[in-house]
Amino acid sequence: MTTGDDFKAGQVLLIDKPLNWTSFQVVNKLRWSIRNAFNIKKIKVGHAGTLDPLATGLLVICTGKMTKQINTFQAQIKEYTGTIVLGSTTPSYDLETEIDKTFSTAHITEAQIKETTKQFIGDIEQYPPIFSAIKKEGKRLYEFARAGETVEIKPRSIHIAEFEITNIEGLEVQFRVVCSKGTYIRSLAYDFGKALQSGGHLSGLRRTKIGDFKVSNALSVNNFIDRLPSE
């Protein structure tokens, strides 16, 4: 059984983040649970790469001295699966905000959808969403967005190793993507719709891998807590 000293010495925990939780909420819940289970006053706990509240899947959580490895884990290649809805956009590029524009999709074929993925393979420039936690002038971008303020966003260089269409049902396009640190899948959904001379937004996202870590080996938050000693 893992002890409190083990958590302080350093553990790497694989957690399957639930829908509508922030990554910060998961970290806080685990930190509180570990402290409570082992009567520890203070312990470092952090995650190696944020997931949006509307995304699920793999969070790599580090405790104690293993928090020094967070930057190493963050830099590793990531894999996601998800769904892009064609024909409409939202300001946040996902379902956090309401649809603001609709576009024709009559011209789009399945062959065209699959062919268009090739435009995104390799080193590309990507604009992060305005609804993101990136800081500019001391504020998060989403703070500007929610205040209705316009702000200049600079593109980022990212790398997409694989972009595969796994299923197409009407306007819903299911995909798998393998990409570098700093890639916004919401932006990919938006740009993909634009490349099809239409619109696109993300309706679902799941992180399945970070480096060699797999979500299939992850525990739910509740399962992790259930494995801790109780009074």
Please give the pLDDT value at position 139.
Answer: 66
Is 100 annotated in the active site? no
Q: How confident is the model over 72-98, as pLDDT tens digits? A: 999 999 999 999 999 999 999 999 999
**Average model confidence (pLDDT) across the chain:** 92
Domains of the chain: 4-75+212-226 (3.30.2350.10), 78-210 (3.30.2350.10)
Please give the pLDDT value at position 130.
Answer: 74
* SS3 at position 112: helix
**Nearest residue to 177 via CA among 200, 151, 209, 131:** 209
pLDDT tier, 230 (very low <50, low <70, confident <90, very high otherwise): confident
- First-to-last C-alpha distance (Å) of the chain: 15
Cα separation, 162 vs 206, whole angstroms = 16
pLDDT tier, 149 (very low <50, low <70, confident <90, very high otherwise): low
CB atoms within 10 A of CB 170: 9
Residue spans of beta strands (DSSP E) within the chain: 12-17, 45-47, 55-63, 78-86, 88-89, 101-102, 122-126, 135-136, 139-140, 156-169, 172-179, 200-210, 213-214
pLDDT for residue 188 is more than 80: yes
Q: Determine the length of the chain.
A: 231
Q: Are 213 and 58 in contact (CB under 8 A)?
A: yes
Stretch among 9-23, 81-95, 145-159, 215-229 having the lowest mean pLDDT: 145-159
Residue predicted with more confidence, 177 or 139: 177
Please give the pLDDT value at position 2.
Answer: 80
Q: Are 189 and 120 in contact (CB under 8 A)?
A: no
* SS3 at position 114: helix
Please give the pLDDT value at position 148.
Answer: 67
Please give the pLDDT value at position 140.
Answer: 67
Cα separation, 37 vs 215, whole angstroms = 25
pLDDT for residue 146 is more than 90: no
Please give the pLDDT value at position 131.
Answer: 67
* Mean predicted confidence (pLDDT) in 106-130: 95
Q: How confident is the model over 161-174, as pLDDT tens digits? A: 999 999 999 999 99
According to DSSP, the residues that pair with 156 across neighbouring strands are 126
Structure tokens at 221: 């938050």
Any residues with CB less than 8 A from the CB of 85 and at least 6 apart, and which? 171, 172, 173, 200, 201, 202, 203
- Catalytic residue chosen out of the listed positions 5, 6, 16, 52: 52
pLDDT for residue 141 is more than 70: no
* Mean predicted confidence (pLDDT) in 6-17: 95
Please give the pLDDT value at position 137.
Answer: 63
In terms of pTM, does the model score above 0.85?
A: yes
CB atoms within 10 A of CB 16: 20
Q: How confident is the model over 174-187, as pLDDT tens digits? A: 999 999 999 999 99
* Mean predicted confidence (pLDDT) in 183-198: 97
